Structure 1
Amino acid sequence: MPQQSGYDFVVVANRLAVDRVTTEDGGTGWRRSPGGLVTALAPIMAQSDGAWVGWHGAADEPLEAFDHQGMHLVPVPLSEQEVEDYYEGFSNATLWPLYHDVIARPAFHRHWFEAYRRVNRRFAEAAADVAAQGATVWVQDYQLQLVPAMLRELRPDVKIGFFNHIPFPPPGLFSQLPWRHSVLRGLLGADLIGFQRESDARNFQRVVRHRLGYYIKSDQVFVPLDAPGPGEDASVNGLHADPARGTAPRQLTAPTEGGFRVAEAKAFPISIDTDKIVELSERPDIIARSQQIRRELGEPDTIFLGVDRLDYTKGIRHRLKAYEELLRDGKLTVGEACLVQVASPSREGVASYQRLREDIEGAVGRINGEYDTLAHTAIRYLHHSYPVEEMVALYLAADVMLVTALRDGMNLVAKEYVAARKSGQGVLVLSEFTGAADQLRQALLINPHDVDELKAAIVKAATIDPEDARRRMRSLRRQVVSNNVQRWAEEFLDRLAAQP
């Protein structure tokens, strides 16, 4: 890899593409992260002299750049205070709830945003230092929304893409953000801004038009060359007035020659490493493990499965309420039915997540206390993270997958379940508020806020005609298998390369 001239393809993400592990001799080493993004981009990086810029996961620990399995890894240091303010604070207590329809109340603190701006600048500088002349730089997700414009200031020669892995809120919600203009200008530093759903791209375009007054045509945003950067306040420099302060923004008409650059904003629905899931689902040991799971649960007629991070956006409480009412109404019976709920630990240092865990575990304990029998349990609750092999075994064991998120950028678990069901059996109950619902139209689509509708879908999934279930699953699998994560990455990068 060319160390002197830089790297032709640079990924910038909050985390590096590797996890630190303990070796057999008690030392430490690195292992490639198992996520779909790394899986999709690692081969491209190997072919294109790639570098990955990100935090390595330990606070107050400077680390030199290093190479691992064909990737050049550039650690960005964060202090413990920056982790608290930039990551746990602004990223996950301000942006995350705001972008997920304010299911939880976002908190707005100026010192959080200052840390966010400072850390984004550090990521941008690291990317600028490592990128070759004319390189392609792909910035990932909501933690780094200021990076595109900062990077453009530092390196106007590079081509910049950004992909938002979570929803983008409608203008009415986004406008609550005190630093809305800085975030918009940060994103508009990219040549191509990707979103999970068409509605997310439209939300972004609407808020840009409303807040900044920029001209938009066919997904193209015409950004004035004299527009302020993400570090400047429009209310101070006066270039674009703020409607919230009593004046309208400068309305830009159709652009004439010069004075503008174009940023395109459109949807690129992300997917999964389908081949890997299918391969695992065919392994004899994983099939045997799935059969063992069913035996351990007492061979119920119907196993319902929920797999989520323990997050308030995932609708776990609504799912438990619906299941409990079905047991109470006699529509489901313990022994004939069992719910397996995997709730992976998430942000355990944040108070709201600690309260959510207490609520969920309290509900599970109450339901099991009321409906368990000596031979069977109503809900098998698992507060763990599991390797992908065990997850695929669970997918094979489950008759019904319950994805009841209140708001989700995509929800890849739904796609993994479908990919694993090569037999054509199994039913997916899917929230219409997930990005996956735009593509997986043959699932049983539900509004998770409507508990009665959710209950009806659960009963239908348990009693569905087998041929109807197979027809639906065949259609779902065609969609998932033909649109894997590698295709997603290629389509985004091809579109970015085509930008003028």
Structure 2
Amino acid sequence: MQSGSFRLSLKFILPVALVWALLAYAVVPWVERQTLQWFVRDLDTRSQMLAAALQEPLQEYVPQKSQKKIAELFDRAVQDDRLFALAFCDTNGKLLYQTRTYPQSLGCQDAGWGQSLRQSMVSLPQGSVHVTESPLKVDGADEGKLILVHDASFIERRSADARKYVLALFAVLAVVMALLTILIAHLSWRGVVSALKEVLIRDARPAARRGPKPRNEPLASDLRSLLNEYTMDRRARDDGSRQWTPEKLRTILREELAGDEILVVSNREPYIHAQTPTGLQVSRPASGLVTAVEPVMRACSGTWIAHGSGSGDRIAVDSNDRVKVPPSRPSYTLRRVWLSKEEEQGFYYGFANEGLWPLCHIAHVRPVFRSADWQRYVEVNQRFADAVVQEAHTDDPVVLVQDYHFALLPRMVREALPKATIITFWHIPWPNPESFGICPWREEILEGLLGSTILGFHTSFHCKNFLETVDRYLEARIEHDISTISYGGKMTQVESYPISIAWPEADNGQPDVAACKQAVRRELSLPENHLLGLGVDRLDYTKGIIERFQAVERMLEDYPALVGRFSLLQIAAPSRSSLDEYQNFESRVRGLAQRINKRFGSGAYLPILLKIEHHDAEQVNRLYRAADVCVVTSLHDGMNLVAKEFIAAREDERGVLVLSQFTGAARELHEALVVNPYHIEQSAEALYRALTMPEIEQRERMRSMRSLVKDFNVYRWAGRMLLDAARLRQRERIMTKIHSHSRTSLRRVV
């Protein structure tokens, strides 16, 4: 037996042995006393019977003083192996008759002492004896007393034997009880292990759930509840105790995912290299995904796999299509995947953005599905899945799959890397089952996403929609209370992870807010005290730009005093401009801006300042700090990080956020002026209220929102997903160990 198993066995044996030793210590003296009493009572009875038998002949012999007959009588009596000696004393205490074995030290007692039967134990040099004195009466007169002496040394021997037997019995019982305790512990441990295996197998390998319930289902249920409570408690502690910073995120990787490899997959690359007459220029694209994920990768290192779309991207990479980024301080690897024009057209512009994008956004644009686009989508997903396998240096990396461009990739990676932990985050809304049912390949998309270990959405509402969609179109087991889906022998955890931004550092060198206000108004040829609203979006029909312009128009109609004093600066980064729907939308935006400017503009004043061009992060940040109002009127949005970026930029605690109720951000930023963008009058009133809001109210609202965005930043978003991944990986490893070592471990316990 190994020393560890021996020590484990001692934990069961020693307490039992100690209890039995204490019990024996208390019981053995009691047993000795009881044994002594039993034997003394036996001798008392024997003495009484013998005395009664000797009474009749002695009543005849004593008056006759027949010494010979008395001697013969005594000699016959002492033939009993217990009777040691006999004697007879007269009423004066004189010893008249005795056997040769009678101890002289006993002699005779006082006459008065013998008036009744007396019995006692007497210790002599040769050992203990039992003495009985029985009075002898003849015709009612006392003649003396008969003394019977029994050998009592056997009592000590029997007591010693009884002590040995009792101690031996207790020793045997202690051993038996210890063995029974170990056996019970063994069986109980086997039950616990079996229940734990059942919990892990049924959670991690959902195909097992379709069988009958196990015999230990109550214990398994308790363990499952305990694990869930522990997970929720630990998550609460993590959320409450951690200050989510890049360093803390790196600490999570070291502590929770020690040595684990992190891979990110997205269509949009975090840095684009453009070839210009002056050489390669590097820029970051206008993308909420990049805004959120890029700081995480700088904190975590790893590899980011993305489509290389820049004109200088091929020049910047090495022979393995890799380049270290960011350029100023490289901290992770960007692996570029190349797509042909035909592949990009079918995969990105076709199925992803003419099909899935309008399908998932309630913006009343009809989705377009083509078989050729679907085929390209499948091929490109496989291309990126192959790149993940190539970049993975282990068989169990942590893969972060980003957005709707790669709905099939989780299943493809799962088939190639079964041990991988795949976290898929869906950055756009998920529609209800009826809307999603439009897609001709709905089952394939759902099956692809269910290759994920964790599937994340911005809000619990989107999670609910996804669960209901799976329930409608796939034969899957759904646990609504713990938000899991079991399909194809694998389990997917569906969770809400509200995305956020990286909170700016205190000494990041940002220009003063007042200086930004002056500089931006000067650049836009606006008066110094001119009221400025700001919209920052991609030029996309889901962003509510048309409705925003209409709200400005209605406000100027209702409050003509603002004409000439207010302008809306709309930054609209060109996006998907090769698609007809986006070209038509751009024409509508330009036409509406021109009409409003023509109606309310005069001289150099324009109420709508439309900038359809790309702005880098620093330029946009200056505009955030210069604006009096930031207007976000998305018709349907997953989160919308513009709202949070505006809040983070305003350390002066000034400015007002007008926010669409159809964004994920509206579920968090309750101090914003939340509007229905389809309700033009409501949006116009909110815009006017924002422009006229007292400074003290602005500060109260902005202070509350800044505190929330600072605490619930992008590192918390990533940290929660990675912590959940770490727990699932740990659970899977425990299950594997239990499968391979449970029998050996159980034998070692014994």
1:209 match: 471
Cα deviation, residue 64, structure 1: 3.0
Cα deviation, residue 73, structure 1: 2.9
Cα deviation, residue 280, structure 1: 5.4
| Of 74-83 and 286-295, the range deviating more from structure 2 | 286-295
Mapping 1:5-84, distance limit 5 Å: 8-22=261-275, 26-28=278-280, 35-46=290-301, 50-57=302-309, 64-68=320-324, 69-84=330-345
Cα deviation, residue 404, structure 1: 0.5
Cα deviation, residue 52, structure 1: 1.7
2:677 is aligned with 1:448 = yes
2:408 to 135, 146, 150: 146
- Mapped partners of 1:470, 1:154: distance in 2: 53
Distance 1:102-1:120 versus aligned 2 partners, 3 A rule: same
Distance 1:261-1:477 versus aligned 2 partners, 3 A rule: same
1:251 match: none
Partner of 1:201, secondary structure, is helix
2:726 to 487, 497, 500: 497
Partner of 1:411, secondary structure, is coil
1:99 match: 360
1:343 match: 572
CA contact (8 A) 1:7 1:130 kept: no
Cα deviation, residue 360, structure 1: 0.8
Distance 1:332-1:169 versus aligned 2 partners, 3 A rule: farther
1:90 match: 351
- Mapped partners of 1:406, 1:171: distance in 2: 19
Cα deviation, residue 388, structure 1: 1.7
Deviations 1:105-153 (A, max 9, x none): 1001111111101110111111012212221111111000100011111
Deviations 1:185-241 (A, max 9, x none): 00000000011111111111111112114222234434233xxxxxxxxxxxxxxxx
2:75 match: none
Cα deviation, residue 102, structure 1: 4.7
- Mapped partners of 1:346, 1:105: distance in 2: 18
- Mapped partners of 1:412, 1:394: distance in 2: 15
Distance 1:70-1:466 versus aligned 2 partners, 3 A rule: closer
- Mapped partners of 1:396, 1:9: distance in 2: 35
Partner of 2:652, secondary structure, is coil
The residue type paired with residue 125 of structure 1 is D
Distance 1:281-1:396 versus aligned 2 partners, 3 A rule: farther
Mapping 1:349-498, distance limit 5 Å: 349-498=578-727
- Mapped partners of 1:173, 1:381: distance in 2: 34
The residue type paired with residue 90 of structure 1 is F
Distance 1:352-1:125 versus aligned 2 partners, 3 A rule: same
CA contact (8 A) 1:19 1:30 kept: yes
Distance 1:480-1:367 versus aligned 2 partners, 3 A rule: same
Mapping 1:100-119, distance limit 5 Å: 100-119=361-380
- Mapped partners of 1:33, 1:91: distance in 2: 18
Mapping 1:191-340, distance limit 5 Å: 191-217=453-479, 218-225=481-488, 260-275=489-504, 282-284=510-512, 287-295=514-522, 296-340=525-569
The residue type paired with residue 52 of structure 1 is W
Cα deviation, residue 332, structure 1: 4.9
2:445 match: 183
The residue type paired with residue 360 of structure 1 is V
CA contact (8 A) 1:97 1:106 kept: yes
The residue type paired with residue 440 of structure 1 is L
CA contact (8 A) 1:45 1:51 kept: no
Cα deviation, residue 396, structure 1: 1.4
CA contact (8 A) 2:274 2:310 kept: no
1:244 match: none
Partner of 1:358, secondary structure, is helix
Partner of 1:157, secondary structure, is coil
- Mapped partners of 1:364, 1:29: distance in 2: 32
Aligned length: 455
Partner of 2:395, secondary structure, is strand
The residue type paired with residue 321 of structure 2 is A
Distance 1:451-1:77 versus aligned 2 partners, 3 A rule: same
CA contact (8 A) 2:363 2:635 kept: no
- Mapped partners of 1:116, 1:206: distance in 2: 25
Cα deviation, residue 301, structure 1: 4.6
| Of 90-99 and 484-493, the range deviating more from structure 2 | 484-493
- Mapped partners of 2:519, 2:331: distance in 1: 38
- Mapped partners of 2:636, 2:561: distance in 1: 27
Partner of 2:568, secondary structure, is strand
**Which structure's relative contact order is higher, taking Cα pairs within 8 Å and 6+ residues apart?**
1
CA contact (8 A) 2:630 2:658 kept: yes
2:427 is aligned with 1:165 = yes
The residue type paired with residue 163 of structure 1 is F
- RMSD between aligned alpha carbons? 2.3
The residue type paired with residue 716 of structure 2 is R
- Mapped partners of 2:678, 2:409: distance in 1: 36
The residue type paired with residue 370 of structure 1 is R
CA contact (8 A) 2:677 2:683 kept: yes
Distance 1:7-1:355 versus aligned 2 partners, 3 A rule: same
The residue type paired with residue 436 of structure 1 is A
Cα deviation, residue 155, structure 1: 1.0
Q: What 5-or-longer segments of structure 2 have no aligned partner? A: 1-258, 325-329, 733-750
- Mapped partners of 1:174, 1:306: distance in 2: 30
For the pair shown, the structure with the greater C-alpha radius of gyration is 2
Q: What 5-or-longer segments of structure 1 have no aligned partner? A: 1-5, 226-259
- Structure number with higher helix proportion: 2
CA contact (8 A) 1:39 1:273 kept: no
The residue type paired with residue 521 of structure 2 is R
- Mapped partners of 1:332, 1:104: distance in 2: 37
Distance 1:31-1:397 versus aligned 2 partners, 3 A rule: closer
Partner of 2:434, secondary structure, is helix
1:122 match: 383
The residue type paired with residue 66 of structure 1 is R
Identical positions, percent: 37
Relative to the length of structure 1, the TM-score reads 0.86
CA contact (8 A) 1:322 1:454 kept: yes
Partner of 2:520, secondary structure, is helix
Distance 1:357-1:300 versus aligned 2 partners, 3 A rule: farther
Partner of 1:133, secondary structure, is coil
The residue type paired with residue 105 of structure 1 is R
Partner of 2:261, secondary structure, is strand
